[in-house]
Amino acid sequence: MKRFIGSYLSAWKINPYRKPLIIRGARQVGKTYVVDEFGKGNFKYYLKINPEQEEGLKTIFQSKKPQLIINELSALYGIPVTEGETLLFIDEIQMIPEAIAALRYLYEQMPGLHIIAAGSLLDHTLNELPYSMPVGRVEFAYMYPLNFQEFLLANKQEGILGYINAFSIDKPFSQALHQKILEYLRLYFFVGGMPEAVKVYTETKNLIEVEKVHSGILTSLQYDFAKYGTRKQQEYLKDCLVYSAKNIGKKVKYVNINKDVHSNYLKEALLKLEMSRIVHLVRMTKSSKVPINQYMDNYVFKPVFLDIGLSCNLAKIKLTDIQNLITDFEGALAEQFVGQELVSSFEHYEDAKLYYWSREAKNANAEIDFLFQIENTIYPIEVKAGKTGTLKSLQVYLAEKNEKTGIRFNIDLPSIGNDLSAVVNMKGKKYDLKYKLISMPMYLAAYLKDIVKEC
C-alpha cells in the first residue's frame, strides 16, 4: 500500500541536516507499516524496538551515554547499529519517556545514525514529559489516514489518478472520467482511509467486512480512554467522540453533548481527543489576512473527525448499496471529506490546523466552512454536497473583508467564474460585489494549493 509520506522519509534519509524524526499520528493510521517498509527497503540493517513487547528497555535509555545505549540495543536484538547503515526505529516511544529524552544525546554524539520514533498517544506524553524535551534536537512528521489519491492507488486506479494529476484549468475535463471518479469518491466516503479498512476492501470488496474493521478500530480507540483518568472522564470522552462524528461542521454546543455535565469537563475531553488526533477542532477566526490565527477564538470550534469511514460507523450508517444511499448526513460527509483532504495537503513537517469564519448577527448570520492559507493569502471555502447551492455566506465574507476570490467545492465539473457579481446587504446598505469563483469538484481538494497558483 503506497503512502506518500514514504517520499518524505526518503528525502529525510539523505538530508545532511536531518535529526531524529518523530512521527505523530492517531492509532492505526499506518505509522509502523510505513517505517517497516522504509527501513527494510533502504537500510542494510533495520533495528525495530517496541517497549510494549520487550521489558527492560526503560533501564537502557536511562543512560546518558549514547554509545552505551546503542551497544546494549545491538546486543539485545543481535543487529549491528552502524551510522549510515542502520535505521533505529523506536515504536510506541511514549511508553518510554526516557527514550524521548535520550534522543538529544543520540543526535549530539551520533549525528550519522538514522533514528525514527513513533507513537499513537505521543502528544499526551510530550505534554507531560517529566524530562527536558530535546528541543532543537528532533524533528517531527505528521501522518493521517489515506487520502483520496492514496485510496485510488490502493484500488489500482493509477490511470484515474494520473488523469487527475495532469489536471489543468486550461484543459477540458472528461465528463465520463468525472462520473467514474465520483463513484470512487462515494466509495471513499464510506470505506474511508484507515489502512486496515482499505486493505480489507481491496482484498474482499466486502463492505460488511469493512464495517467490522471500523467497529474494531473504534473499540480499540475507546479502550485507550482507560489511560485518560477516572471512569467519569472516560465517559465524557466517549460522549464527545460520538458527538464529534455526528456533528461534523457544526459549532460545538456542550449542552448537546451532555446537558448534565459542566462544559469545562466536556471541553477538556474534546481537547484530549484533539491531542490524540482523533478529532480536528476547526477553530473560528476573524482573520482575513495572515497570520490566520491572529483573531482566533480558542473557545469556539467545530469538529472534523479523524476519518470519514469511522464517522459513518459512529453515525450508524450501514454499508449497503452505498452508491444509491441518500442520508441526512450528505452535507456533513462533504465537509468531512474536504476537511480531511485539506489536512492531508499540508507538508508532512507541518502540524495541520484548520479554521473557519462565522458571523452571528440578528437576521444576518453567515458562515464559511473553511478559511485556508495558501502562501500568505487566506481564501474562503464553501463546500456543497450537490452541484448547486447558495453562495450567500461566501459573498458576505468577500464583501465584508474586501476580498476578491472565493472557492467552492461540490460535485460538478471544474470551472472558473471571473467577474461575477452579486448584491450584498451589509449593515443595512447594499454593496455591489465583483468577485472570482474557483469552483472545483471536491475530489480535487488536496490539489487546492496548486490550483490557486495556476489561477
Do both 197 and 310 map to the same domain? yes
State whether 262 and 375 are in the same domain: no
What is the predicted pLDDT for the residue at 50?
A: 85
Cβ atoms within 10 Å, residue 307 = 26
The reply to whether 188 and 319 lie within a common domain is yes
Task: State the pairing for strand pair 366-374/405-410.
Answer: unpaired
Residue 209: inside a domain: yes
Structural contact between residues 289 and 378, judged by C-beta atoms closer than 8 angstroms: yes
Mark whether 134 and 207 lie in a shared domain: no
pLDDT, tens only, 206-254: 999 999 999 999 999 988 887 777 889 999 999 999 999 999 999 999 9
Asked if 171 and 262 sit in the same domain, the reply is: yes
Q: Is residue 14 part of a domain?
A: yes
Same domain? For 178 and 246 the reply is yes
Please tell me the total count of domains within the chain. 3
Task: Tell me which residue of 448, 298, 316 sits closest to 381, measured CA to CA.
Answer: 448
Domain boundary among 122, 142, 162: 142
Query: Are 138 and 198 within one domain?
Result: no
**CA-based nearest residue to 303, from 262, 360, 244, 346:** 244
Confidence of residue 321 (pLDDT cuts 50, 70, 90): low
290 inside domain:
no
241 and 197, same structural domain?
A: yes
Does 135 lie in the same domain as 152? Answer: no
C-alpha cell at 24: 505523530
Q: How confident is the model at residue 325 (pLDDT cuts 50, 70, 90)?
A: low
The single-letter code of the amino acid at 251 is: K
CATH of the domain at 65: 3.40.50.300
**Is residue 289 assigned to a domain?**
no
Domain shared by 250 and 377, yes or no: no
Rg of the Cα trace of the chain? 23
Given a contact cutoff of 8 angstroms between Cβ atoms, the answer to whether 372 and 378 are in contact is yes
Could you read off the pLDDT of 100-154 as tens digits, one per residue?
A: 989 999 999 999 999 999 987 777 666 666 555 677 899 999 999 999 999 999 9
Final residue in a domain of this structure, among 307, 327, 346: 346
Kindly report the pTM of this predicted structure. Answer: 0.94
**In this structure, is residue 277 part of a structural domain?**
yes
Q: Which of 22, 45, 104 is nearest to 69 (CA)?
A: 104
Q: Beta partners for 45? A: 86
Domain boundary among 306, 325, 346: 346
> With bands split at pLDDT 50, 70 and 90, how would you rate the model's confidence at 323?
low
Residue at 286 is within a domain:
no
Return d(Cα 226, Cα 268) in angstroms, integer.
15
Mean pLDDT along residues 26-37: 96
**Domain housing 14:** 5-142
Checking DSSP bridges between strand 405-410 and strand 429-441, what pairing results, if any? parallel
Contacts of 109 (CB under 8 A, 6+ apart): 66, 67
Where helices occur in 247-391 by DSSP H, the ranges are 254-257, 263-275, 308-314, 330-344
Q: Are residues 12 and 27 in the same domain?
A: yes
Q: Does a structural domain hold residue 12?
A: yes
> 276 and 131, same structural domain?
no
Instruction: For residue 292, tell me if it sits in a domain.
Output: no
